[in-house]
Amino acid sequence: MTWSRGRREPDSHVQSVPEIRKDLVLVGGGHTHALALRMFAMKPIEGLRITLVSPASHTPYSGMLPGLIAGHYSFEQTHIDLARLCQWAGVRFLTAAVTSLDPMTRQLSLAGRPPINYDLVSIDIGSQPELDLVPGARTHAIPVKPVADLWRRWQALQDRVLEHRAGVDYRIAVVGGGAGGVELAMAMASRLAGKSACIDLWCGGPEILQGYNARARSAVMAALRRQGIAVHLNARVEQVQHDRLLMSDGVRPVYDELFWCTGAAAAPWIASSGLQTDERGFLSVRDTLQSLDDERVFGAGDIATQVNHPRPKAGVYAVRQGPVLAHNLRALLLGKPLRNHRPQRRFLSLISLGGKQATADKGPFSATGRWIWRWKDRIDRKFMSRFEDLPGSMPLASWDRLPELDGAQRQQPCGGCGAKVGADALSNALEQLSLQYPEHCRGNGDDAAAIPCAGTSPVVQSLDVLREMVADPWQMGRIAANHALSDLYACGARPVSALAAITLPFAGSSILQRELQQLLAGALHEFAAANCCLTGGHSMQGPELSLGFVVNGIPLAQDRHLLSKRGLAPGDALVLTKPLGTGTLFAAHMQLLADGRDISAAVESMLQSNAAAAELAVAHGASACTDITGFGLLGHLLEMLDTDRCARLQLARLPLLPGALQQLRGGIASTMHAANARAGEVLRHEGQVDEVRLQVLFDPQTSGGLLIGIAADRAQALRDALRRRAYAQAEIIGEVQPRPPGDAFSVAVS
């Protein structure tokens, strides 16, 4: 296979677009990184690309976690929406977990996907409870981190407490006498007040809150007693079983639920990187927050230990590190002096007491009461407002410029084939990918290639190209591949080959290679699953990313015909395989109005292949099929209807993505929506119609589901089979009818 490089065609009308020369990768969405991201967004650096890697779209603010458990705050009030923050800041967001770091190759391995490279990396992933020092703890205990898992299990626990048989207390054990364990116990007690539950706090030391002053400890102990929490001091756990603790003094207390809040531990991959760590495995850093071994690796928050100024693992230190980290990352990139960070010796600790009361501790000072809680509440809300109330306008030009660009030629970028990706970057990327996908990434790359199949079966060919809609190149590659393959599946065809069409943003050679590898690895992830060979393509550079594929296929089986888009018969039922709403959700995301969790759900839906749905449609004898893409459900349904057919849709049955209806209700629509809505003149309303749900018919989809026509007596069986194959929201949404003579309406909605 050869990938075409094309001729140079200068275009004087192309605007000067800065090249990307360096990759800064931020691992983890902790407090320090969230602050640093905001600072970089306000003062961007020309030539720098920033990527944030986090396993979830939302990161918790630790100061408000007890209030979340106690019911004082909502999930949204206590979590930073990283997807929204990155969209605002112009930062790539990768939903992934890092599993290893190789400082020699400057590479990060990610769980379940290809590794990524960096020029500069910063790590702010926090700590995790130490579960491996006590046998059985990892198996039976609920750790306080990650918070997302804690929150899910806490919600389920509340339901179990309510269902628990009357007269018998549900026993909750909390292990850990530090601030985290104390606050968690009191937050749960406050939330479960009046319910059949009792809470035991197990502390291995002679007193809770070691390091706090006596008045603060006394106030907290009094609050624990008031809430009926049994505090056990000098109670060291030696083993955990599925329903009881084995203590060092031989006591064997039972529990129904166990929460683990003991000393902090580091992610194992930090020590495995070969970089210096402290005795507990936390990254050792200088006062500049750089690794002792590698100036290109930074560490902040709980995951790092500042060797000259070791401090307890507390969120207040992470917040104070934010400005220094942002300054030093910028300074190293620009060749300027770095700053030292001097953490304060004492810090103000505000401990929530379950109800809307709190205790303050700083050195010899201590105070308790509702006014302390209100003070804490104001501090916490002020911090979170930095990420909720994002400035509406961003700088029109870069604040700084990478020195690598100083000697770069400032010629206007060429258009046409002169914008091609260099041969070295392309061949190097393909060479490495061919090792991982030897059966599906072949040759040296022509614009076109013979389809690798024999026989006289009809061949189906389709082409789809997408502009960038997600910043994660691996996910973008997967979405684009799925989107293209769906045309084949809608025909009842099996994919056999594909050609790529790629436009990459202007960048240096190493950056282009990194981007190509991520995009094509994502596409090959999907093509390999479909046993489809990527046989060639065309790549170039331009102002923005676009990615598409020509795909070729043959019938699913030699004795089966292709499915037609037309062919619906009166009486046929209409089955939709996947939920709708990607258009409005991504329009909202561009305007910073979408919840990151809703965007994650939309991405998961787009990543779901239509292959199994097509197989089921053919196996159940479908009469017609199409995939729902840019024209929306109504537009593609109209393509299926012959002139003597009409359809009836039940709006209430349309499956929707989370948040889609909310965005449409708020007036958020894709730019394609208005054009699609012009087809609404063929609609006839039957009875009362929800006007907002009606708008879903016009919402353009990317990598949407299949719309299948099938005889009514087989529709339920098909729907049930789809749901068993992971199309959880597959639904029968309407039926086909003969069109009455002279009727101007094609679709009735009710």
pLDDT in tens, 14-31: 345 678 999 999 999 999
pLDDT mean over 192-216: 92
Q: How far apart are CA 152 and CA 129, in angstroms?
A: 17
- What is the reported pLDDT for 562? 82
Estimate the crossing angle of helix 611-619 against helix 712-724, to 10 degrees. Answer: 150
Amino acid at 352: S
Of 404 and 364, the structure prediction assigns the larger pLDDT to 364
Domains and CATH numbers, the chain: 20-127+266-346+367-388 (3.50.50.60), 137-264 (3.50.50.60), 416-555 (3.30.1330.10), 572-749 (3.90.650.10)
Q: Is the pLDDT of residue 5 over 50?
A: no
d(CA 489, CA 612): 9
The answer, yes or no, to whether residue 9 has pLDDT greater than 70, is no
- pLDDT-based confidence at 307, cuts 50/70/90? very high
Cα atoms in the Cβ-side hemisphere of radius 13 Å centred on 665: 7
Which pLDDT does position 3 carry in this prediction? 54
Identify the weakest region by mean pLDDT among 383-392, 439-448, 527-536, 620-629: 439-448
Burial call 485-499: b when 16+ CB within 10 Å, e when fewer:
bbbbbbbbbbbbbbb
Cβ neighbours of 410 (radius 10 Å): 7
- Using CA atoms, how far residue 168 sits from 95, 162, 194, 616, in Å, is 43, 12, 13, 50
The mean pLDDT value for 591-611 works out to: 95
Lowest mean pLDDT among 152-156, 486-490, 645-649: 152-156
Q: At what angle do helices 423-436 and 509-529 cross, to 10 degrees?
A: 30
Q: CB burial class (10 A; 0-12, 13-18, 19+) of residue 626?
A: buried
Query: What is the mean pLDDT of the segment spanning 215-241?
Result: 95
Neighbours of 397 (CB within 10 A): 7
Least confident of 99-108, 304-313, 424-433: 424-433
User: Residue 558 has what pLDDT?
Assistant: 67
Task: Specify the pLDDT at position 13.
Answer: 40
352 pLDDT higher than 90: yes
**What does the alpha-carbon distance between residue 254 and residue 259 come to, in Å, rounded to a whole number?**
13
Q: Name the pLDDT band for 211 (thresholds 50, 70, 90).
A: confident
What DSSP designation does 744 have? -
What is the Cα–Cα distance from 704 to 699, expressed in whole angstroms?
Answer: 11
Asked if 78 and 61 count as a contact pair (C-beta separation under 8 A), the reply is yes
pLDDT tens string 694-716? 999 999 999 999 999 999 999 99
As given in the structure block, the two tokens for residue 33 are 């990184």
The catalytic residues are 417
Scored b (16 or more CB within 10 A) or e, 233-271 reads: eebebeebeeebbbbeeeeebebbbbbbbbebbbbebbb
For the chain, give the mean pLDDT: 89
What pLDDT is recorded for position 10?
37
- The one-letter amino acid at 564: S
CB atoms within 10 A of CB 228: 11
Side by side, the strands of the sheet bearing 92-95 are 92-95, 48-54, 22-27, 120-123, 297-299
715 to 501, 561, 626, 724, 749: CA distances (angstroms): 38, 20, 16, 14, 20
Whether the predicted pLDDT of 444 surpasses 60: no
Can you give the pLDDT at residue 408? 57
Q: In degrees, to the nearest 5, what angle opens at C-alpha 307 toward C-alphas 306 and 310?
A: 65
179-193, 343-357, 648-662 — which is least confidently predicted?
343-357
Between helices 31-42 and 370-388, what is the axis angle to 10°? Answer: 40
Q: Angle at the Cα of 595 (from 589 to 598), degrees rounded to 5?
A: 90
Which bin fits 455, alpha (ψ -120 to 50), beta or left (φ > 0)?
left
| 341-355, 448-462, 625-639, 708-722: which is most confident | 708-722
Q: Between 426 and 175, whose confidence is greater?
A: 175
- Model pLDDT, residue 149: 77
- Residue 218 backbone phi and psi in degrees, to 5: -65, -40
Beta strands in 529-601 (DSSP E): 533-542, 546-555, 572-576
- In angstroms, the Cα distances linking 621 to 85, 245, 555, 560, 725 are 47, 58, 14, 11, 17
* pLDDT digits 0-9 by tens, 651-699: 999 999 999 999 999 999 998 899 889 888 889 998 888 999 999 999 9
Report the residue count for the chain: 750
Cis before 413? omega within 30: no
Q: State the DSSP H helix or E strand holding residue 120, giving kind and residue range, or none if neither.
A: strand 120-123
pLDDT per residue over 22-64, tens digit each? Answer: 999 999 999 999 999 999 999 999 999 999 999 999 999 989 9
Residue 60 CB coordination number (10 Å): 23
pLDDT of residue 696: 96
Residue 11 has pLDDT above 70, yes or no: no
Banded model confidence at residue 12, pLDDT cuts 50, 70, 90: very low
Write down the pLDDT at residue 423. 58
Residue 728 has pLDDT above 50, yes or no: yes
| pLDDT at residue 1, rounded to an integer | 46
pLDDT number for residue 172: 94
User: Percentage of the chain with pLDDT > 70?
Assistant: 91
Residue that is written with structure tokens 């290679």 in the block: 513
Closest CA to 287 of 260, 324, 337, 320: 324
Element holding 462 (H helix, E strand): strand 460-467
Reported as a pLDDT band with limits 50, 70 and 90, residue 452 is: low
User: In whole angstroms, what is the distance from residue 225 CA to residue 215 CA?
Assistant: 15
What is the per-residue pLDDT across 274-299, written as a single tens digit (0 to 9) for each?
Answer: 999 999 999 999 999 999 999 999 99
**DSSP string for 257-297:** EEEE--SEE--HHHHHTTS-B-TTSPEEE-TTSBBSS-TTE
Instruction: Report the alpha-carbon distance of residue 306 to residue 282 in Å, rounded.
Output: 10
Given a cut of 80, whether residue 267 has pLDDT beyond it is yes
Strand partners, 60: 79
Contact between 182 and 220 (Cβ < 8 Å): yes
Residue 184 token pair: 């968690």
